[in-house]
């Protein structure tokens, strides 16, 4: 049972019906869950969310799934069956939010699209997450985060000019879309308090990645197409120096776009005169002499006895800098520990699992995870009995008919 002794959370009392899988949708509903929403995750038999088959595994459980689906209750039913669709509609009638990330048209074929469900529950907030949105020439295309990375131009401006762009090893498109979805859902719930009506939210990975451009798109548009960003390696054009520098025993990053920052770097390097050198005195001037500036800094880092020594000098001067940490170093970083960014949960089959936390911190609410990700179909009986008021015989009948499914371990 959920620990009711903890402080109320921002979304306590909100119920979310979650038809999502993979990453963007589950990340969205995971965030709603830790903020207090009762998230009921609906999966399809016999394998459930495709995340359940994604490594790394512990005692047969996918860490990928465990991370993105904790604090949710799990129901598994065959949505191709009219009986399961009827259960879904009953759940909609007592829910505040529906989130789905099927390709456009799939929910309509099951009678579970926004027009159908809002007719049952006009206060419903319905969020559709997809690769390209509900309309436009790409709407029916399949897609993943890497597709949005490519089409948005993000890959084109990442990496070195003489090499193909590297894949972005963190799922920026999915998690960015998920958190935009959280903001949109919360805004729609707030609007509902004033109007009494829900609405449909249409959010797309490609839109979110396009909106993330802070420089390249506006530079192209405002120059009339004359200036087009491309790959420039480990630095950032327009902010100099701002990039990665290799040393004898690792790499460091330096963010020094302001003239004050540059003076701090010059002090750390033992070259204070460079701060007032006409070639480098302003960011605009440093940008025009970008290669020279990067060579000056790189030569100094290379000559330093160690990355730690270079960082010590930069930190003493007040320059923004950091070691490029390995995953092992990140996991043991004292700042990560102080912020509670790794949490431990007890899973019924996997045992104790440690996973990355979400970055929410509220002054008057405890939003730490409270329950592990559900086993497949774990809460079939609980949800249908407690939420819908179905009788024991109704639940048993749906189970006998194969409408409800639970994994053998459940």
Active site residues: 174
10 Å CB burial of residue 135 (0-12, 13-18, 19+) is exposed
| Bridge-based pairing state of the strands 250-255 and 239-247 | antiparallel
Alpha helices per DSSP H over 214-370? 216-222, 259-269, 283-288, 290-303, 307-317, 327-331, 334-338
14 Cβ contact partners less than 8 Å away, ≥ 6 residues apart = 32, 36, 37, 38, 96, 97, 189
CA–CA distance, 400 with 167 (Å, rounded to integer): 47
Nearest to 365 by CA among 11, 3, 97: 11
- Exposed e or buried b per residue across 226-259, where buried means at least 16 C-beta atoms within 10 angstroms of its C-beta: eeebebeeebbbebbbbbebebeebebebebbeb
Q: How far, in Å, CA of 106 to CA of 88, rounded?
A: 14
Spatial separation of the C-alpha atoms in residues 42 and 35, rounded to whole Å: 19
What are the counts of helices (DSSP H) followed by strands (DSSP E) for the chain?
A: 17, 14
């Amino acid at each position: 049972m959920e620990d009711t002794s903890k402080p109320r959370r921002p979304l306590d009392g909100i119920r979310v019906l979650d038809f999502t899988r993979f990453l963007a949708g589950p990340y969205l509903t995971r965030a709603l869950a830790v903020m207090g929403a009762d998230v009921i995750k609906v999966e399809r038999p016999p394998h459930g969310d495709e995340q359940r088959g994604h490594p790394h595994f512990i005692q047969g459980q996918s860490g990928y799934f465990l991370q993105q689906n904790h604090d949710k209750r799990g129901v598994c039913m065959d949505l191709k069956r009219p009986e399961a669709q009827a259960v879904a509609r009953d759940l909609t009638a007592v829910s505040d939010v529906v989130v789905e990330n099927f390709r456009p048209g799939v929910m309509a074929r099951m009678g579970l699209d926004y027009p159908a469900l809002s007719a049952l529950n006009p206060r419903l907030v319905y969020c559709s997450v997809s690769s390209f949105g509900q309309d436009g020439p790409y709407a029916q295309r399949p897609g993943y985060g890497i597709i949005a990375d490519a089409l948005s131009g993000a890959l084109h401006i990442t990496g070195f000019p003489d090499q193909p762009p590297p894949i972005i090893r963190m799922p920026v498109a999915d998690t960015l879309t998920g958190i935009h979805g959280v903001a949109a859902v919360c805004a729609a719930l707030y609007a509902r308090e004033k109007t009494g009506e829900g609405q449909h939210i249409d959010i797309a990975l490609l839109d979110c990645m396009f909106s993330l451009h802070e420089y390249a798109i506006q530079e192209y548009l405002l120059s009339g197409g004359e200036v087009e960003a491309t790959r420039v390696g480990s630095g950032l054009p327009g902010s100099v120096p701002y990039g990665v520098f290799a040393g004898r025993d690792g790499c460091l990053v330096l963010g020094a776009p302001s003239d004050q920052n540059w003076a701090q770097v010059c002090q750390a390097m033992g070259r204070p005169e460079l701060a007032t050198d006409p070639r480098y005195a302003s960011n605009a001037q440093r940008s025009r002499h970008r290669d020279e500036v990067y060579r000056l800094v790189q030569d100094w880092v290379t000559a330093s006895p160690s990355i730690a020594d270079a960082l010590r000098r930069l930190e003493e001067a007040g320059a923004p800098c950091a070691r490029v940490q390995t995953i092992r170093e990140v996991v043991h970083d004292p700042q990560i520990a102080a912020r509670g960014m790794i949490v431990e949960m007890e899973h019924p089959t996997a045992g104790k699992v440690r996973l990355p936390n979400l970055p929410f911190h509220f002054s008057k609410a405890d939003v730490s995870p409270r329950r592990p990700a559900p086993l497949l179909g774990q809460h079939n009986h609980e949800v249908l009995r407690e939420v819908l008021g179905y009788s024991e015989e109704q639940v048993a009948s749906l189970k006998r008919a194969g409408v409800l499914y639970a994994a053998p371990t459940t």
